[in-house]
Amino acid sequence: MNDTAISLRLGAWWETNARDLPWRFGRATPWGVLVSEVMSQQTQMSRVVPYWTDWMERWPDARALAEAPKAEVITAWGRLGYPRRALRLQECACVVAEQYADKLPRTYDELTALPGIGDYTASAVMSFAFGERIAVIDTNIRRVLSRVFLGIESRGGAASPAERALANRMLPKDEIFGCDADVADNAGSAEHAANSTIRGDKRSRLHRGERPSVTWNQSVMELGAVICTAKSPLCDTCPIADDCAFLKAGAPDWGSAAPARANDSKARIDRCAVWSSPRCASFPLEPRCPGKMPTSFGRTRFSLPPASPALTMTADRDSGRRPATTQLTL
């Protein structure tokens, strides 16, 4: 297996097929890249784009967000989910504005010290915004590397030492081919964003200052997001399928995932029929598929009437602070 050839094929595929996201290709400041990474956590990219665009128009830098009313911040977060992320992002903005003069720090230790910023986000910002050579490890990258080079499925949970070692081993050296090295050194600057060249249609780009390690991180992540997906990989269109150890091994344990968590209600109710009606009487939920779904999940108590077939159920949830009613539709 020729690692260099794989890297080159992935880079060529990325150049032609990368999705046109507004924070890519030097068109966003480092702060804008950080915001995109926080918004993208456990959220579909198609949902993130309009929220990110509106967010950056309203609060283009850390200081602007730090001074915004919390109510407006929560409202602007909209349906991205996990609204606490919005408040943590504002806390992060306060630190950047006050301690770093509104400029995002460039080192790993400084980034991970910011509120709400962990290993992945710090690594992604260093690579995508500042052009630093650092292995970025997320679920998509782990899946691709495990399949292509180890011939196995990546499991859930934190990245294993073997996966981290593989990610670091595969990271290309940062020689800049056919371009000025200082362009990459200025990655994320306003001048760099203005000089990023877009040729032909909007999907064909010449990003001449991008370091090989940055291209590698982005291309592997993109491949995992749109081609080498967890459940429905498009192997026929994969640019590195010929070198994939997973395919050569006959795709062992294909599609297998880590065991569902004890409170993962979705995994338990998706195959079970339930009863509901406009009126709800309180009594334990009895599944139509015995043994596949418990009558409660964590702190959630389901309330359903005895016999009226439908596809809606109402759950009375005690959040620990105040009771609330959640309408769930299957």
Q: Please count the other Cβ atoms lying within 10 Å of the Cβ belonging to residue 271.
A: 11
CB 197 within 8 A of CB 205: yes
Strand partners, 323: 318
Question: What number of CA atoms fall less than 13 Å from residue 140's CA on the CB side?
Answer: 20
The burial class, CB within 10 Å (0-12 / 13-18 / 19+), for 75 is: exposed
CA angle 133, 93, 219 (to 5 degrees): 30
Concatenating the DSSP letter of every residue in 59-103 gives --SHHHHHTS-HHHHHHHHTTSS-THHHHHHHHHHHHHHHHSTT-
Question: What number of CA atoms fall less than 13 Å from residue 315's CA on the CB side?
Answer: 19
Say which residue the tokens 């196995």 belong to: 152
- 37 is known as an active-site residue: yes
Show the DSSP H helices in 134-291 as ranges: 139-145, 161-170, 181-185, 190-195, 212-226, 245-248, 265-269
Nearest Cα to Cα of residue 52 among 25, 33, 67, 71:
33
Nearest Cα to Cα of residue 272 among 291, 257, 258, 255:
291
CB 252 within 8 A of CB 154: no
- Reported for 314-318, long-range contacts at CB under 8 A and 24+ positions apart, including other chains, are 314/276, 314/280, 316/282
CB 122 within 8 A of CB 98: no
Catalytic residue among 37, 132, 163, 222: 37
Position 101: which residue type?
A
| H/E run at residue 252 | none
Catalytic residues: 37
